[in-house]
Amino acid sequence: MPTADYRTYCEMIDRAKEKKFAYPAINVTSLTTANAVLKGLAESKSDGIIQVSTGGGAFASGSSVKDMALGAISIAEHVHRAAERYPICVALHTDHCQAKNLEGFVIPLIEETERRRAAGRPNLFNSHMFDGSDLPLTENLDIAVKLLDRCHKNQIILEIEVGVVGGEEDGVKGEASAKMYTTPEDMLETARRLNAVKGARYLVAATFGNVHGVYKPGQVKLKPTVLRDGQAAVEKASGKEARFALVFHGGSGSAIEEIHEAIDYGVVKMNIDTDMQYAFTRAIADHMLKHYDGVLRIDGEVGNKKAYDPRSYLGLAEGFMAERVKRAARELKSVGTTLYKG
Protein backbone atom coordinates (compact mmCIF):
# COMPACT_ATOMS: atom_id res chain seq x y z
CA MET A 1 0.00 0.00 0.00
CA PRO A 2 1.16 3.61 -0.20
CA THR A 3 3.44 4.70 2.64
CA ALA A 4 1.67 5.08 6.00
CA ASP A 5 -0.21 8.30 6.63
CA TYR A 6 -0.15 10.00 10.02
CA ARG A 7 -3.14 8.10 11.40
CA THR A 8 -1.76 4.74 10.32
CA TYR A 9 1.69 5.53 11.73
CA CYS A 10 0.19 6.53 15.09
CA GLU A 11 -1.87 3.33 15.07
CA MET A 12 1.25 1.28 14.28
CA ILE A 13 3.06 2.77 17.27
CA ASP A 14 0.11 2.41 19.62
CA ARG A 15 -0.41 -1.23 18.68
CA ALA A 16 3.25 -2.09 19.16
CA LYS A 17 3.18 -0.42 22.57
CA GLU A 18 0.04 -2.28 23.58
CA LYS A 19 0.89 -5.71 22.16
CA LYS A 20 4.57 -5.54 23.08
CA PHE A 21 6.40 -5.84 19.81
CA ALA A 22 8.65 -3.45 17.90
CA TYR A 23 9.17 -2.41 14.29
CA PRO A 24 12.42 -2.93 12.43
CA ALA A 25 13.73 0.53 11.45
CA ILE A 26 16.29 -0.05 8.75
CA ASN A 27 18.80 2.44 7.38
CA VAL A 28 18.97 2.58 3.59
CA THR A 29 21.25 4.45 1.21
CA SER A 30 20.05 3.36 -2.24
CA LEU A 31 17.12 2.04 -4.24
CA THR A 32 18.42 -1.51 -3.83
CA THR A 33 18.64 -1.37 -0.03
CA ALA A 34 15.21 0.30 0.18
CA ASN A 35 13.77 -2.50 -2.00
CA ALA A 36 15.43 -5.08 0.27
CA VAL A 37 13.58 -3.67 3.27
CA LEU A 38 10.24 -3.64 1.45
CA LYS A 39 10.78 -7.26 0.37
CA GLY A 40 11.81 -8.44 3.84
CA LEU A 41 8.89 -6.68 5.53
CA ALA A 42 6.35 -7.92 2.98
CA GLU A 43 7.56 -11.52 3.31
CA SER A 44 7.17 -11.15 7.09
CA LYS A 45 3.71 -9.55 6.85
CA SER A 46 5.23 -6.91 9.11
CA ASP A 47 4.97 -3.16 8.90
CA GLY A 48 8.19 -1.28 9.42
CA ILE A 49 10.24 1.85 9.04
CA ILE A 50 12.70 2.84 6.33
CA GLN A 51 15.13 5.49 7.48
CA VAL A 52 17.79 7.70 5.94
CA SER A 53 20.72 9.24 7.82
CA THR A 54 22.48 12.49 6.93
CA GLY A 55 25.36 10.50 5.44
CA GLY A 56 22.97 8.17 3.64
CA GLY A 57 21.18 11.14 2.10
CA ALA A 58 24.47 12.74 0.99
CA PHE A 59 25.54 9.43 -0.56
CA ALA A 60 22.23 8.94 -2.37
CA SER A 61 22.46 12.40 -3.95
CA GLY A 62 25.69 11.42 -5.74
CA SER A 63 29.34 12.00 -4.95
CA SER A 64 29.58 15.31 -6.81
CA VAL A 65 26.41 16.76 -5.27
CA LYS A 66 26.53 15.46 -1.67
CA ASP A 67 23.28 17.12 -0.64
CA MET A 68 21.87 15.14 2.27
CA ALA A 69 18.35 16.53 1.95
CA LEU A 70 18.24 15.93 -1.81
CA GLY A 71 19.33 12.29 -1.47
CA ALA A 72 16.80 11.69 1.31
CA ILE A 73 14.04 13.16 -0.88
CA SER A 74 15.05 10.90 -3.79
CA ILE A 75 14.93 7.77 -1.64
CA ALA A 76 11.61 8.82 -0.09
CA GLU A 77 10.07 9.51 -3.51
CA HIS A 78 11.12 6.04 -4.61
CA VAL A 79 9.66 4.40 -1.52
CA HIS A 80 6.38 6.30 -1.93
CA ARG A 81 6.04 4.81 -5.42
CA ALA A 82 7.44 1.32 -4.82
CA ALA A 83 5.62 0.72 -1.52
CA GLU A 84 2.31 0.68 -3.39
CA ARG A 85 3.27 -2.75 -4.75
CA TYR A 86 3.83 -4.34 -1.33
CA PRO A 87 1.03 -5.57 0.98
CA ILE A 88 2.31 -3.84 4.15
CA CYS A 89 2.49 -0.37 5.69
CA VAL A 90 5.85 1.34 5.71
CA ALA A 91 6.76 4.64 7.35
CA LEU A 92 9.59 6.93 6.27
CA HIS A 93 11.91 8.38 8.88
CA THR A 94 15.18 10.31 9.04
CA ASP A 95 17.86 9.18 11.49
CA HIS A 96 20.22 11.16 13.77
CA CYS A 97 20.39 14.84 12.93
CA GLN A 98 22.51 16.95 15.23
CA ALA A 99 21.66 20.63 15.81
CA LYS A 100 24.39 21.76 13.42
CA ASN A 101 22.78 19.76 10.58
CA LEU A 102 19.15 20.78 11.11
CA GLU A 103 19.31 23.60 8.53
CA GLY A 104 20.79 21.28 5.92
CA PHE A 105 18.66 18.21 6.55
CA VAL A 106 15.54 18.14 8.73
CA ILE A 107 14.36 21.72 8.07
CA PRO A 108 14.44 21.45 4.24
CA LEU A 109 12.69 18.06 4.54
CA ILE A 110 9.93 19.56 6.70
CA GLU A 111 9.67 22.42 4.17
CA GLU A 112 9.29 19.86 1.41
CA THR A 113 6.44 18.24 3.36
CA GLU A 114 4.86 21.67 3.91
CA ARG A 115 4.93 22.31 0.15
CA ARG A 116 3.43 18.91 -0.52
CA ARG A 117 0.67 19.41 2.03
CA ALA A 118 -0.16 22.80 0.55
CA ALA A 119 -0.60 21.03 -2.79
CA GLY A 120 -2.81 18.33 -1.24
CA ARG A 121 -0.14 15.64 -1.47
CA PRO A 122 0.93 13.23 1.31
CA ASN A 123 3.80 14.07 3.65
CA LEU A 124 7.29 13.21 2.41
CA PHE A 125 8.52 11.72 5.72
CA ASN A 126 6.41 10.44 8.62
CA SER A 127 8.97 11.27 11.27
CA HIS A 128 12.33 12.92 11.81
CA MET A 129 14.92 12.50 14.51
CA PHE A 130 16.58 15.43 16.21
CA ASP A 131 19.65 14.28 18.11
CA GLY A 132 20.60 16.87 20.71
CA SER A 133 22.38 14.32 22.89
CA ASP A 134 25.68 16.23 22.57
CA LEU A 135 24.02 19.27 24.20
CA PRO A 136 23.04 19.90 27.83
CA LEU A 137 19.52 18.52 28.39
CA THR A 138 17.88 21.95 28.67
CA GLU A 139 19.27 23.07 25.30
CA ASN A 140 18.42 19.70 23.76
CA LEU A 141 14.80 20.04 24.90
CA ASP A 142 14.56 23.76 23.98
CA ILE A 143 15.31 22.86 20.35
CA ALA A 144 13.16 19.72 20.51
CA VAL A 145 10.08 21.61 21.74
CA LYS A 146 10.31 24.15 18.89
CA LEU A 147 10.76 21.41 16.33
CA LEU A 148 7.97 19.31 17.82
CA ASP A 149 5.57 22.22 17.52
CA ARG A 150 6.36 22.61 13.81
CA CYS A 151 6.22 18.84 13.23
CA HIS A 152 2.87 18.58 15.01
CA LYS A 153 1.36 21.26 12.75
CA ASN A 154 2.34 19.04 9.80
CA GLN A 155 1.35 15.66 11.26
CA ILE A 156 4.98 14.60 11.58
CA ILE A 157 6.25 12.61 14.57
CA LEU A 158 9.51 13.74 16.16
CA GLU A 159 12.10 11.40 17.65
CA ILE A 160 14.52 12.81 20.18
CA GLU A 161 17.48 11.38 22.07
CA VAL A 162 18.08 11.71 25.81
CA GLY A 163 21.40 10.30 26.96
CA VAL A 164 24.14 9.25 24.55
CA VAL A 165 24.38 6.23 22.25
CA GLY A 166 27.96 4.97 22.26
CA GLY A 167 29.98 3.71 19.31
CA GLU A 168 30.21 5.33 15.91
CA GLU A 169 27.72 5.97 13.12
CA ASP A 170 28.14 8.18 10.11
CA GLY A 171 31.45 9.41 11.51
CA VAL A 172 29.77 10.68 14.71
CA LYS A 173 31.35 9.13 17.79
CA GLY A 174 29.38 8.81 21.02
CA GLU A 175 31.48 9.18 24.14
CA ALA A 176 31.52 6.41 26.70
CA SER A 177 30.21 8.10 29.83
CA ALA A 178 27.49 8.11 32.47
CA LYS A 179 25.25 9.72 29.83
CA MET A 180 25.06 6.30 28.18
CA TYR A 181 22.37 5.51 30.79
CA THR A 182 19.41 7.90 30.80
CA THR A 183 18.25 8.75 34.33
CA PRO A 184 14.59 8.76 35.49
CA GLU A 185 15.03 12.51 36.19
CA ASP A 186 15.96 13.11 32.53
CA MET A 187 12.95 11.07 31.41
CA LEU A 188 10.62 13.10 33.67
CA GLU A 189 12.03 16.39 32.40
CA THR A 190 11.62 15.16 28.80
CA ALA A 191 7.97 14.31 29.44
CA ARG A 192 7.33 17.63 31.16
CA ARG A 193 8.78 19.69 28.32
CA LEU A 194 7.47 17.73 25.34
CA ASN A 195 3.97 17.14 26.72
CA ALA A 196 3.59 20.93 26.80
CA VAL A 197 3.10 20.71 23.02
CA LYS A 198 -0.51 19.58 23.26
CA GLY A 199 -1.50 16.58 21.18
CA ALA A 200 1.92 16.21 19.54
CA ARG A 201 3.35 12.71 19.06
CA TYR A 202 6.97 11.90 19.72
CA LEU A 203 9.36 8.99 20.17
CA VAL A 204 12.13 8.87 22.75
CA ALA A 205 15.52 7.27 22.24
CA ALA A 206 16.52 6.81 25.87
CA THR A 207 19.91 5.18 26.24
CA PHE A 208 20.68 2.10 28.30
CA GLY A 209 24.29 1.45 27.39
CA ASN A 210 23.52 0.83 23.72
CA VAL A 211 26.12 1.50 21.06
CA HIS A 212 26.18 1.89 17.31
CA GLY A 213 28.05 -0.84 15.50
CA VAL A 214 28.81 -4.40 16.51
CA TYR A 215 31.35 -5.32 19.15
CA LYS A 216 32.73 -8.58 20.45
CA PRO A 217 30.74 -10.16 23.29
CA GLY A 218 31.36 -8.58 26.70
CA GLN A 219 32.29 -5.15 25.32
CA VAL A 220 28.83 -3.67 25.66
CA LYS A 221 26.86 -3.58 28.93
CA LEU A 222 23.20 -3.13 28.16
CA LYS A 223 20.95 -2.29 31.11
CA PRO A 224 17.37 -2.39 29.83
CA THR A 225 16.19 -1.84 33.43
CA VAL A 226 17.12 1.81 32.85
CA LEU A 227 14.09 1.95 30.55
CA ARG A 228 11.89 0.19 33.12
CA ASP A 229 12.85 2.66 35.86
CA GLY A 230 12.41 5.71 33.62
CA GLN A 231 8.98 4.55 32.44
CA ALA A 232 7.93 3.85 36.03
CA ALA A 233 8.88 7.40 37.01
CA VAL A 234 6.93 8.86 34.08
CA GLU A 235 3.91 6.69 34.85
CA LYS A 236 3.98 7.65 38.54
CA ALA A 237 4.07 11.35 37.65
CA SER A 238 1.49 11.44 34.84
CA GLY A 239 -0.31 8.10 34.54
CA LYS A 240 -0.04 5.03 32.32
CA GLU A 241 -0.88 6.89 29.11
CA ALA A 242 2.21 9.04 29.57
CA ARG A 243 4.61 6.09 29.18
CA PHE A 244 6.96 6.74 26.29
CA ALA A 245 7.10 4.99 22.93
CA LEU A 246 10.81 4.16 23.04
CA VAL A 247 13.43 3.66 20.35
CA PHE A 248 16.30 1.19 20.63
CA HIS A 249 19.36 2.54 18.82
CA GLY A 250 22.29 0.34 17.96
CA GLY A 251 20.16 -2.81 17.68
CA SER A 252 22.81 -4.62 15.62
CA GLY A 253 24.54 -7.41 17.46
CA SER A 254 22.17 -7.36 20.47
CA ALA A 255 21.17 -10.54 22.29
CA ILE A 256 17.59 -11.66 21.82
CA GLU A 257 16.90 -11.60 25.60
CA GLU A 258 17.97 -7.96 25.79
CA ILE A 259 15.83 -7.07 22.79
CA HIS A 260 12.79 -8.73 24.34
CA GLU A 261 13.38 -7.13 27.71
CA ALA A 262 13.62 -3.70 26.07
CA ILE A 263 10.36 -4.36 24.20
CA ASP A 264 8.69 -5.26 27.50
CA TYR A 265 9.64 -1.80 28.78
CA GLY A 266 8.09 0.01 25.82
CA VAL A 267 10.51 -0.11 22.88
CA VAL A 268 8.42 0.11 19.67
CA LYS A 269 11.17 0.81 17.12
CA MET A 270 14.59 -0.77 16.85
CA ASN A 271 17.20 0.75 14.55
CA ILE A 272 19.34 -1.73 12.64
CA ASP A 273 22.06 -0.48 10.35
CA THR A 274 25.36 -2.31 10.86
CA ASP A 275 23.93 -5.84 10.58
CA MET A 276 22.12 -4.82 7.38
CA GLN A 277 25.32 -3.40 5.92
CA TYR A 278 27.03 -6.69 6.69
CA ALA A 279 24.27 -8.85 5.20
CA PHE A 280 24.33 -6.79 2.00
CA THR A 281 28.11 -6.92 1.64
CA ARG A 282 28.32 -10.59 2.64
CA ALA A 283 26.39 -11.55 -0.48
CA ILE A 284 28.64 -9.43 -2.69
CA ALA A 285 31.82 -10.83 -1.12
CA ASP A 286 30.55 -14.34 -1.76
CA HIS A 287 29.82 -13.53 -5.39
CA MET A 288 33.22 -11.91 -5.99
CA LEU A 289 35.15 -14.77 -4.39
CA LYS A 290 33.21 -17.44 -6.26
CA HIS A 291 33.41 -15.68 -9.61
CA TYR A 292 36.65 -13.75 -9.43
CA ASP A 293 37.69 -15.01 -12.86
CA GLY A 294 34.34 -13.77 -14.22
CA VAL A 295 34.27 -10.35 -12.58
CA LEU A 296 37.88 -9.62 -13.57
CA ARG A 297 39.49 -9.43 -16.98
CA ILE A 298 42.71 -11.27 -16.27
CA ASP A 299 45.39 -13.13 -18.24
CA GLY A 300 44.12 -11.75 -21.54
CA GLU A 301 40.60 -13.07 -20.86
CA VAL A 302 37.46 -10.94 -21.11
CA GLY A 303 35.70 -11.91 -17.88
CA ASN A 304 32.04 -12.84 -17.78
CA LYS A 305 29.49 -10.12 -18.37
CA LYS A 306 26.89 -12.11 -16.41
CA ALA A 307 29.19 -12.06 -13.37
CA TYR A 308 30.20 -8.40 -13.48
CA ASP A 309 26.82 -6.93 -14.37
CA PRO A 310 26.11 -5.08 -11.07
CA ARG A 311 22.56 -6.40 -11.17
CA SER A 312 23.85 -9.93 -10.57
CA TYR A 313 25.50 -9.23 -7.22
CA LEU A 314 23.26 -6.34 -6.17
CA GLY A 315 20.29 -8.63 -6.70
CA LEU A 316 21.90 -11.23 -4.43
CA ALA A 317 22.64 -8.51 -1.89
CA GLU A 318 19.00 -7.38 -1.97
CA GLY A 319 17.94 -10.95 -1.19
CA PHE A 320 20.48 -11.39 1.64
CA MET A 321 19.49 -8.10 3.22
CA ALA A 322 15.79 -8.98 2.91
CA GLU A 323 16.51 -12.20 4.82
CA ARG A 324 18.19 -10.17 7.57
CA VAL A 325 15.11 -7.90 7.71
CA LYS A 326 12.97 -11.04 8.12
CA ARG A 327 15.13 -12.17 11.01
CA ALA A 328 14.73 -8.71 12.60
CA ALA A 329 10.94 -8.96 12.28
CA ARG A 330 11.03 -12.38 14.00
CA GLU A 331 13.24 -11.10 16.83
CA LEU A 332 11.07 -8.01 17.31
CA LYS A 333 7.88 -10.09 17.22
CA SER A 334 6.37 -7.99 14.42
CA VAL A 335 5.78 -10.93 12.04
CA GLY A 336 2.14 -11.09 10.91
CA THR A 337 1.17 -7.85 12.65
CA THR A 338 0.67 -5.68 9.55
CA LEU A 339 -2.24 -3.25 9.62
CA TYR A 340 -2.63 -3.68 5.86
CA LYS A 341 -5.95 -5.20 4.94
CA GLY A 342 -5.67 -6.43 1.36
Catalytic residue (choose from 47, 95, 131, 186): 95
> Residue 212 Cβ, how far from Zn ion at the closest point, in Å?
6
Closest CB to Zn ion among 249 and 324? 249
Q: Is 95 a catalytic residue?
A: yes
User: How many residues line the site for Zn ion (CB under 5 A)?
Assistant: 1
Cα distances (Å, whole numbers) of residue 156 to 5, 65, 114, 338: 10, 27, 10, 21
Q: Give the H or E element holding residue 160.
A: strand 157-162
Stretch that binds Zn ion, among 40-48, 63-71, 149-157, 241-249 (CB under 5 A): 241-249
> Residue 51 Cβ, how far from Zn ion at the closest point, in Å?
9
10 exposed, middle or buried (CB, 10 Å; 0-12, 13-18, 19+)?
middle
In the three-class reduction of DSSP (H, G, I as helix; E, B as strand; rest coil), residue 180 is classed as helix
Closest CB to Zn ion among 39 and 249? 249
Stretch that binds Zn ion, among 79-87, 219-227, 242-250, 302-310 (CB under 5 A): 242-250
Output 228-231 pairs: Cβ under 8 A, ≥24 positions apart: 228/264, 228/265, 229/184, 230/182, 230/183, 230/184, 230/186, 230/187, 230/206, 231/187, 231/265, 231/266
C-beta separation of 281 from 288 below 8 A: no
| Secondary structure (DSSP) of 73-136 | HHHHHHHHHHGGGSSS-EEEEE----GGGGGGTHHHHHHHHHHHHHTTPPPS-SEEEE--TTS-
Residue type, 209: G
Closest CB to Zn ion among 169 and 186? 169
State yes or no: residue 201 binds Zn ion (CB under 5 A). Answer: no
Phi first, then psi: give them for residue 174, nearest 5 degrees: -85, 140
Closest CB to Zn ion among 128 and 249? 249
> Residue 133 Cβ, how far from Zn ion at the closest point, in Å?
10
> Residue 57 Cβ, how far from Zn ion at the closest point, in Å?
15
Stretch that binds Zn ion, among 6-14, 179-187, 249-257, 318-326 (CB under 5 A): 249-257
Stretch that binds Zn ion, among 85-93, 113-121, 248-256, 289-297 (CB under 5 A): 248-256
Q: How many residues does the chain have?
A: 342
> Residue 271 Cβ, how far from Zn ion at the closest point, in Å?
5
Closest CB to Zn ion among 179 and 249? 249
Tell me which of 17, 249, 287, 326 binds Zn ion, using CB under 5 A: 249
CA atoms within 13 A on the CB side of 229: 12
Closest CB to Zn ion among 68 and 295? 68
C-beta separation of 204 from 246 below 8 A: yes
**Residue whose C-beta lies closest to Zn ion:** 249
Q: Which residues are catalytic?
A: 95
Interface contacts to Zn ion, rule CB under 5 A: 249
